[in-house]
Amino acid sequence: MSDAFDLLYSETEEELRSAVRALLADRCTPAQVLARAETGRPHDPELWHTLAAEIGTAGLLVPEKLGGQGAGHREAAVVLEELGRAVAPVPYLTSAVLATEILLGLGCEAPEVALLLAELAAGRQVCAPALPLTQAPGAPLPGAVRDTGGGALTGTVGSVADAVAADVLLVLADTGLYAVPAAEAALSPLVPLDLTRPLATVTLEGAAGTRLADPATARAAIAGALLSGAGLLASEQVGLAEWCLTETVRHVRGRHQFNRPVGSFQALKHRLAQLWLDVASARAAARAAADALATGAPDAPLTVAVAQAYCSGVAVRAAEECVQLHGGIGMTWEHPAHLYLKRAKAGSLALGTPGHHHALVADFAELPSP
């Protein structure tokens, strides 16, 4: 298998999957997710503690000498598949992937970077990058935050995911990258389409933080983190799509109309068979992205763009089919299908839309627009 990349799951990865799945089956059922979301505070700090610290998933991307697990993107992708399957409201993508990758991208010589990284890897602190969730790799970064003198940061960033759960925010200002204690910022929670991934507007008015990097280093680190984030989001989307497919198949096998299970009607069988194909294909694309990120393959940016261009759409389609083929039940608030649809649709805007990633493919594959 010399030139090929590994698209399968290793035994260790399957063990990690079982541990995460068992935890979520116990403490993060759709009913529990819905109940928490209705309180307006979807995060469950105890669940996060078990997942991040006890199972040790928060430090998968962090080398052991910096306090992490020294695993990699393939393992983090498996965790995200399970989190997607459970629409789990945990700040994994933001803290354990995006923020962690930004810090890793700074080089870890500076003690304040190494310290924060170790805190994140151990699950002791949650960190959210103060970027809009829609921020795409390859797109210009916002420049709304300014240092108004002596490190007093001022500015506003909208649609920051998981900020409400964060202890620390990573803020890109004109003078560099800063770690800002969440207490220094004013957060106004927004009403999100996706109830399981809360958004807030972050306003800084002379906030004080620790400067971690100069602007150029910061921008390069953020670009790398966005690439990883987009590549790994594909795995979350695969997990989500798989749940939708499995639940829908279960439902149409049991639901009778016209004296037959509705799943015996060919019109539905063909749609579900096609969806299965799409999910199987999305899995291959997402695995390729995770593997390319893990090995630092030179074509990782193309593989990630392909995965994002493809997997977002599959997740949305799977969730839409799930609602439709459940009939009236699928339109109810009690049934969890809507949580999945909302996550899928919001996820297709996160870290670059399929259209944005198609444009990246056009660049990488040298298929220029007219």
Partner 1 sequence: MTAITADHLVTRIRDLLAAHPPADTDRTDFLRARFDAGLAWVHYPEGLGGLGAPRSLQAVVDAELEAAGAPDNDPRRIGIGLGMAAPTILAYGTDEQKQRFLRPLWVGEEVWCQLFSEPGAGSDLAALGTRAVRESGSGDWIVDGQKVWTSSAHTARWAILIARTDPALPKHQGITYFLCDMHAPGVEVRPLRQITGEAEFNEVFLTGVRIPDSHRLGAVGQGWAVARTTLMNERVSIGGMRIPREGGMIAPVAAAWRERPALRTHALHQRLLQLWVQAEVARLTAERLRQQLAAGQPGPEGSGMKLTFARLNQEISGLEVELLGEEGLLYEDWTMRRPELVDFTGRDAGYRYLRAKGNSIEGGTSEILLNIVAERVLGLPPEPRDDKDLAWKDLAR
CB nearer to partner 1: give 206 or 355.
355
Closest distance between partner 1 and the C-beta of residue 246, in Å?
A: 9
In the complex with partner 1, the residue whose CB is nearer, 139 or 220, is 139
C-beta atoms surrounding 49 within 10 Å: 14
When asked if residue 25 is in the footprint of partner 1 (CB under 8 A), the reply is no
User: Of the two residues 123 and 239, which places its CB atom closer to partner 1 in the complex?
Assistant: 239
Q: Min. distance of Cβ 356 from partner 1 in angstroms?
A: 11
Measured in degrees and rounded to the nearest 5, phi and psi for residue 156 equal: -130, 135
7 touches partner 1 by CB under 8 A: yes
Q: Least distance to partner 1 from the beta carbon of 305, Å?
A: 8
Compute the distance between CA of residue 67 and CA of residue 78 in angstroms, rounded to an integer. 21
8 binds partner 1 (CB under 8 A): yes
Closest alpha carbon to 180 in 142, 154, 198, 199: 154
Among 73, 211, 283, 338, indicate the residue that binds partner 1 (CB under 8 A).
Answer: 283
Q: Which residue is it, tokens 């400067």?
A: 211
Residue 272 carries which side chain, given as an amino acid letter?
L
| Shortest Cβ 285–partner 1 spacing (Å) | 5
Dist. CA 120–CA 191, nearest whole Å = 27
Pick one of 112, 208, 253, 332: the residue that binds partner 1 (CB under 8 A): 253
Binding to partner 1 by residue 273, rule CB under 8 A?
yes
Q: Binder to partner 1 among 110, 139, 144, 249 (CB under 8 A)?
A: 249
Q: What are the residues facing 129 on neighbouring strands?
A: 170
Beta strand 176-181 with 186-189: parallel, antiparallel or unpaired?
Answer: unpaired
The nearest distance, CB 358 to partner 1, in angstroms, is 4
267 binds partner 1 (CB under 8 A): no
Residues facing residue 180 across a β-bridge: 169
Quote the least distance from Cβ 355 to partner 1, whole Å. 8
By CB under 8 A, is residue 78 in contact with partner 1?
no
Task: Give the E-state strand segments of 219-339 in sequence order.
Answer: 256-257, 260-261
Residue 39 CB partners (closer than 8 Å, separation 6+): none
In angstroms, the CA 93 to CA 104 distance is: 15
Strand ranges, E, within the chain: 127-129, 146-147, 152-161, 168-173, 176-181, 186-189, 199-208, 210-213, 256-257, 260-261
Binding of partner 1 at residue 274 (CB under 8 A)?
A: yes
Strand 152-161 to 186-189 pairing? unpaired
Q: Which stretch binds partner 1 (CB under 8 A): 136-144, 190-198, 216-224, 261-269?
A: 261-269
Q: How far apart are CA 226 and CA 6, in angstroms?
A: 23
Q: Is 14 in the site for partner 1 (CB under 8 A)?
A: no
Positions 304 through 363 that interact with partner 1 (CB under 8 A): 306, 309-310, 358-359, 361-362
Nearest to 255 by CA among 350, 326, 166, 149: 326
**What is the distance between the alpha carbons of residues 172 and 209, in angstroms, rounded to a whole number?**
11
Is 266 an interacting residue with respect to partner 1 (CB under 8 A)? yes
Pick from 35, 260, 327, 334: which binds partner 1 (CB under 8 A)? 260
Question: Rounded to the nearest whole angstrom, what is the least distance from the CB of residue 247 to partner 1 in the complex?
Answer: 12
Residues that bind partner 1 (CB under 8 A): 1-2, 4, 6-8, 249, 252-253, 260-261, 263-264, 266, 268-270, 272-274, 276-277, 280-285, 287-288, 306, 309-310, 358-359, 361-362, 365-370
